Amino acid sequence: MANEEASRTATFPSGIVGVGLGEVRRNIPADEPPPLPPNAELAVIGKPVARHDGRAKVTGATRFTVDVVLPGMLHGGILRSPLPHARVRAIDVAAATHHPGARAVVMVARPGDAKTGVVRYAGAAVAAVAATSMAAAEEALRLIRVDYEPLPFVVDLDQARDPAAPPVHDGASLPAGNPSGYPAPAGLPVQGNVHGPAVARRGDVVGGFAQADVQVEGEYRTQVQTHCCMEPHAVVADWRADGLTVYISTQYTAGVRHELAEAFGLPLNRVRVIVEGMGGGFGSKSSLGNYGRLAAMLSRQAGAPVRIVLDRKEEQTDAGNRPGTSQHVRMGARRDGSLTAISVVSYGTAGVALGAGVGNFAESLYECPNFEGAQHDVFINAGPGCAMRAPGAVQGAWALEQSLDELAERLALDPLVLRDRLDPSPVRREERRIGAERIAWHRRHAPGADTGPVKRGIGVAQSLWSANVRTNSSCEVRVMRDGSVAVLSSVQDIGTGTGTVMAQAVAEVLGVSPAAIAVRIGDTEFPAGPPSYGSLATASITPPARTAAWRVLQVLFREAGSLLKAAPEELVARDGRIVVRGDPGRSIAFAEAAAHLRTDVVSAVASRADDYGGFRRRMGDGGMAQQDLGGVQFAAVAVDTETGIVRVERVVAVQDCGRPMNPRQIESQVQGGVLMGMSFALFEERLLDRRTGRMVNPNLEQYKLAGSCETPQIDVVVLENYQGNSATDAYGIAEPSNIATAPAIGNAVYNAIGVRMRSLPMTPAAVLAALGKVPSRL
Amino acid sequence: MAQAAAAGVEPAVLGPGTVAITLSVNGTPRALEIEPRTTLAEALRGPLALTGTKIGCNRGGCSACTVWLDGAPVCSCMVLAIDVGGRSVTTIEGLAQGETLHPVQAAFIEHDALQCGYCTPGMVMSCAALVRDKPNPTADDVRSAISGHVCRCGTYPHVVAATLAAATGHKA
């Protein structure tokens, strides 16, 4: 077991259940467990096991970060710029410092400082205060006097591209990093507010378009979407002489620990990060954030714990967003449908930040010898964007999947037939087949064929997302002398059910009930787990959970073997007992075997092995599996051509996540992805006032989200797709389920009304304008 | 106030300092000292440490803070604590009978009608009020009962299924 070099060969199930299940032989590390059979042969994995924390959540007992109260805790507030662009000439914090409730004051903007002396968006942090109550903090913030010199600003993507537009950044403030999770290469040119392009090229697009019999070309736009996590960004920082403890609503406890250690010059062993209940992140809680850093600074200064919870306006303006884009897509094809060239030129804006690309969707989804992509970031005076559920791919899919449908129509081909010709993925092929049957695709009529005022239509779109893995992912399994079991990791559960699938992986190995396993996660005192982003948590943490359980079981088997007078290799664990294989009469209870352990606790820690089949790409602590995660979604819509209202009546989502660990939780997540995609397609939009630079709908009633009454029937179908790549062979689902929805609805709207909607959101006004019934709002 | 003016009596001025009030919460009288500007949501979460009630937007736009006032679901962020008076307040902590979950709570677990769980207490309060008032609700009744609730995880389909199942359970 200790010998890392040792390996053995094992035979794994391979293929898609229902299509063809075969076998694949893999060379695996000797200390990894034996292959897991398909779900049909398992007791716990693949079953709709109830969440381990369900009871706590329905009774209100779950402690979220906003619920954390520490003795002597102070309340922090942040003073924010009312102007979208201004030089901070002076800040006077004296009166705030003397407020009777104030305990600490920190300046964020420093007059004269090249990096911080200018605020570049309305809502940017200027200073922060910690006080004995939130009311006192607000009073103290109001006592801070800031002398602003207003500067010219621009908050519109198109206007910002004008070389004469006011520059958002200067040399000192230009962002170097990329917060979106879709990195642009370093060293790209900057001209005015335009950064880039990041160019990707294959073959010769000029020659490709020359070979095309048919071409389509269009300008597609996506709006800025905000994350709207129901739990606001929240932190309680407790700075003490012996170390820093931070409670934070985060998607990555271990990552935040690193950030804190680096920001404050502390060793990792003096920083602890904790999250229990976590009220949603969707990409926006991936890192420490300004508010987290400020809470720690205020706590250090005040010598007391400091809580900062953003209010909804702060959430909407300074907690990240999905960048808006404008994309010019051109596709060329021969008569038979084969693609000759694709080109995508995109301009996106993540406000003052980078990361407004449109992903690798157009480059990778369909077979095409000639491709050219040029992606630009455009700076505007607005809050920074950040990763949001399938960053880039959601925007890219909106344009590409509608372009492909347009091409199919020009070729007089069924959109599914064209995709069958162009898409090499066997996964999506099966998904298209299943989905088409469910939605009754054969009944799809010609565009705009309905005669009444309410016109119905069906559309399809596909998704592409890499199967991501973080190998810096560890998990501990403990068996106690009373037979009780705990699984521990710093990994957090942001609502996806991570703790539950970990318990399932452990329970399957040990032959005990998953409900009996104590799930201890969300604390960096436990072995370092993966982040909950990139749809990689399940792929990264369930294999080490199973592996650690298997290693502990070998210890237990040695005890049980001597009691049962059997070799450890002859034993199996099932139904709460340890049984001699082939001789079920010889067995002992799991707890009885545990009672013979040499120590009160026996534990094993395992980390995520590389995919057994090898990664397609390895990047630092992570890798991409050989196979992407495919998804296909179908939408059925009704468009009222008199009111312009688009109603989504049904969505069929057929998805792949490798081995499904918990079908009920997966269904929940896919429904959520579909609803977020539908909400993006029809309702959501961050609106900035071009005259003041401020957001005019920074709340939850004018920033419109899909609710229960807009929710369509959603059919979720999940493939079982085995690759033999890890101890569980499970991958993620959060992001793939969010990519295809909007373009599927867009294609369905086209099928309904015969007019292509290229801009989001498809509001009633936009639909009526597209139908020529009202003037366009621009 | 109108009554006070009609009677020729100056209305009592409360605040800005704290005021002593008693709230009837989950069947128990609870004395607390609050500033008049304190909302019911803040009073529950702060001095009463009943943090199951969540604040999402703090302006009546998301219903995460839903509690019952005399049995009726309200956004507790839109009610001042001093205005509650003698009305009974029921929070998520008061819904289960000891260890026995309310049928809506049990059905939420069974149907996975929660993900991150932040909107869940408010959702449960609205759905429990619905099945109490309308033992045979339709799916549209449930959608309507939760139409003011925002759930970014998108649990609506499972919330509807769970609530319908809980109502059926009620009948049995």
pLDDT (tens digit, 9 = 90+) per residue, B45-61? Answer: 999 999 999 999 999 99
Residue A726 CA: distances (Å) to CA of A45, A174, A229, A343, A611: 14, 42, 32, 37, 6
A632 shares its domain with A594 = no
CA of A228: which chain B residue's CA is closest? B152
Q: Which residues in chain A have Cβ-Cβ distances shorter than 8 Å to B117?
A: 53, 56-58, 62, 277, 279, 495
Q: What is the DSSP letter of A225?
A: B
Local confidence band at B169 (pLDDT 50, 70, 90 cut-offs): low
Residue A567's pLDDT is 96
Among positive and negative, which fits the CA dihedral A541, A542, A547, A553?
Answer: positive
Cβ contact B117–A699 (<8 Å): no
Query: Which pLDDT band holds residue A2 (cuts at 50, 70, 90)?
Result: very low
Per CB-CB distance under 8 Å, the chain A contacts of B37 are 135
Mean pLDDT calculated for residue range A591-599:
96
**Rounded-to-integer distance, Cα B81 and Cα B34, Å:** 8
Q: Does B154 touch chain A (CB under 8 A)?
A: yes
Q: What is the pLDDT of residues A207-261, one digit of tens each?
A: 999 999 999 999 999 999 999 999 999 999 999 999 999 999 999 999 999 999 9
Residues A587 and A734 both lie in one domain: no
How confident is the model over A488-506, as pLDDT tens digits?
Answer: 999 999 999 999 999 999 9
- Show which of A598, A623, A648 is a domain's final residue: A623
**Whether residue A40 is found in the same domain as residue A90:** no
Mutual angle of helices B156-171 and B103-110, in 10-degree steps:
130
Report how far residue B136's alpha carbon sits from residue B140's, in angstroms, rounded to the nearest whole number: 11
Q: Of all helices (H) and strands (E), which one includes residue A617? A: strand A617-619
Which residue does chain B place closest to A715, by CA atoms?
B157
Q: What is the Cα–Cα distance from A718 to A16, expressed in whole angstroms?
A: 11
Distances (CA, A) of A491 to A239, A521, B167: 23, 6, 37
Residues A500 and A553 in one domain: yes
Kindly determine whether residue A664 and residue B151, on different chains, have CB atoms separated by under 8 Å: no
Percent of chain B with pLDDT over 90: 88
Domain that holds residue A283: 65-151+233-309
Neighbours of B49 (CB within 10 A): 10
Alpha carbon distance A321, A503 (integer Å): 33
* pLDDT above 50 for A158: yes
Residue A606 shares a structural domain with residue A550: yes
Residues in chain B: 172
A540 shares a domain with A400: no
Identify the pLDDT of residue B4: 45
Size of interface A-B (CB pairs under 8 A): 172
Which stretch of DSSP H or E encloses residue A88? strand A86-92
Sign of the torsion formed by the C-alpha atoms of A675, A679, A681 and A682: positive
Q: CA A632: distance to chain centroid?
A: 18
Nearest beta carbon to residue B114 from set A54, A135, A701: A54
A600-655 per-position pLDDT tens digit = 999 999 999 999 999 999 999 999 999 999 999 999 999 999 999 999 999 999 99
What SS3 string covers B24-68?
EECCEEEEEEECCCCEHHHHHHCCCCCCCCCCCCCCCCCCCCEEE
Local structure of A634: helix, strand or coil: strand
Q: What is the mean pLDDT of chain B?
A: 93
**A761 vs A273: CA distance, rounded Å:** 38
Residue of B nearest to A675 (CA): B154
State the Cα–Cα distance between residues A770 and B28, nearest whole angstrom: 59
Nearest to A89, CA basis, from A118, A115, A121, A123: A118
Q: Is residue A95 domain-shared with residue A19, that is, in the same domain?
A: no
Tell me if A700 and B56 make a contact (CB, 8 A cut-off): yes
Q: Which two tokens stand for residue A708?
A: 């229960």
Token pair of A46, please?
């693949």
Interface test with B, best of A49, A51, A53, A58 (most B CBs within 10 A): A58
In-domain check, residue A2: no
CA of B1, closest CA in chain A: separation in Å? 27
Strand bridging mode A617-619 / A622-624 = antiparallel
pLDDT at position A487 over 50: yes
Candidate from A59, A496, A700 with C-beta closest to B61: A700
- Whether residue A181 is predicted with pLDDT greater than 80 in this model: the reply is no
Q: Do A708 and B110 touch (CB under 8 A)?
A: no
- What value does the mean pLDDT of chain A take? 96
pLDDT in tens, A688-709: 999 999 999 999 999 999 999 9
Report how far residue A764's alpha carbon sits from residue A548's, in angstroms, rounded to the nearest whole number: 54
Omega before B36 cis (within 30°)? no
Nearest residue on chain A to B55, alpha-carbon basis: A231
Q: pLDDT at position A28, please?
A: 97
Q: What percent of chain B has pLDDT over 70?
A: 93
Instruction: Answer whether residue A776 shows pLDDT above 80.
Output: no
Task: Judge: A59–B101 Cβ closer than 8 Å, yes or no.
Answer: yes
Token pair, residue A654, equals 């057929």
Interface of B with A in 54-73 (CB under 8 A): 54-62, 64
Using an 8 Å CB-CB cutoff, list chain A residues near B121.
58, 60
Name A51's Cβ contacts closer than 8 Å, sequence gap at least 6.
A57, A497, A499, A500, A665, B109, B112, B114
> A394: domain CATH number?
3.30.365.10
B117·A66 Cβ contact <8 A: no
Distant-in-sequence, close-in-space partners of A79: CB < 8 Å, separation ≥ 6: A125, A126, A127, A128, A129, A141, A144, A146
What's the CATH number of domain B103-171, 1.10.150.120, 3.40.50.720, 1.10.260.40, 1.10.3720.10? 1.10.150.120
Residues within 8 A of A (CB atoms), B 33-52 only:
35, 37, 45, 49-52
Between the CA of residue A70 and those of A366, A418, B84, what are the distances in Å? 54, 60, 29
Q: Where are the domains of chain B?
A: 10-94, 103-171
- pLDDT for A98 equals 98
Q: Residue B170's pLDDT is what? A: 53
Residue A112 sits in the same domain as residue A194: no
Helix (H/G/I), strand (E/B), else coil: A561 = helix
pLDDT of residue A4 exceeding 70: no
- Please determine whether the domains at B10-94 and B103-171 fall in the same fold group of CATH: no
Are A521 and A378 within one domain? no
**Measured between CA atoms, how close is B4 to chain A, in angstroms?**
31
Contact criterion met (CB < 8 Å) for B57 and A699: yes
Q: Given CB atoms, is B137 within the 8 Å cutoff of chain A?
A: no
Coil vs helix vs strand at A21: strand
Share of chain A above pLDDT 90, in %: 96
- Whether A442 and A475 share a structural domain: no
Of B58, B106, B115, Cβ closest to residue A495: B115
Interface with chain A: mutation pick from B100, B118, B149, highest number of A CBs within 10 Å: B118
Q: What is the pLDDT of residue B1?
A: 41
Mention every residue, 6+ apart, whose C-beta is less than 8 A from residue A778. none
Give the DSSP per-residue string, A646-671.
Answer: EEEEEEEEEE--BS-S-HHHHHHHHH
Same domain, A736 and A631: yes
Model confidence, pTM: 0.97
Phi-psi region at A480: left, alpha or beta (left = phi > 0; alpha = psi -120 to 50): beta
Measured between beta carbons, the chain B residues lying within 8 angstroms of A737 are none
The tokens for A378 are: 């455009």
Residue B83 CB partners (closer than 8 Å, separation 6+): none
pLDDT digits (tens, 9 = 90+) for A363-418: 999 999 999 999 999 999 999 999 999 999 999 999 999 999 999 999 999 999 99
**pLDDT number for residue B130:** 98
CA distances to A11, A698, A742 from A442, in Å: 41, 44, 22
Other C-beta atoms closer than 10 Å to the C-beta of A697 total: 16
Mean pLDDT of B79-94: 98
Q: pLDDT tens across A261-275, in order?
A: 999 999 999 999 999
Q: Is residue A315 part of a domain?
A: no
Q: What confidence score (pLDDT) does residue A568 get?
A: 96
SS in 3 state form for A168-218?
CCCCCCCCCCCCCCCCCCCCCCEECCEEEEEEEEECCHHHHHHHCCEEEEE
How far apart (Å, rounded) are the C-alpha atoms in residues A325 and A225? 11
**DSSP per position, A687-729:** -B-TTT--BS--SSSSS----GGG--EEEEEE--EE---SSS-
Domain presence at residue A420: no
Q: What angle do helix axes B120-133 and B156-171 make, rounded to 10 degrees?
A: 40
CATH number of this structure's domain B10-94: 3.10.20.30
For chain A, the domain total comes to 4
Give the amino acid at A457. Answer: G
Are A527 and A498 part of one and the same domain? yes
Does residue B5 surpass a pLDDT of 60? Answer: no
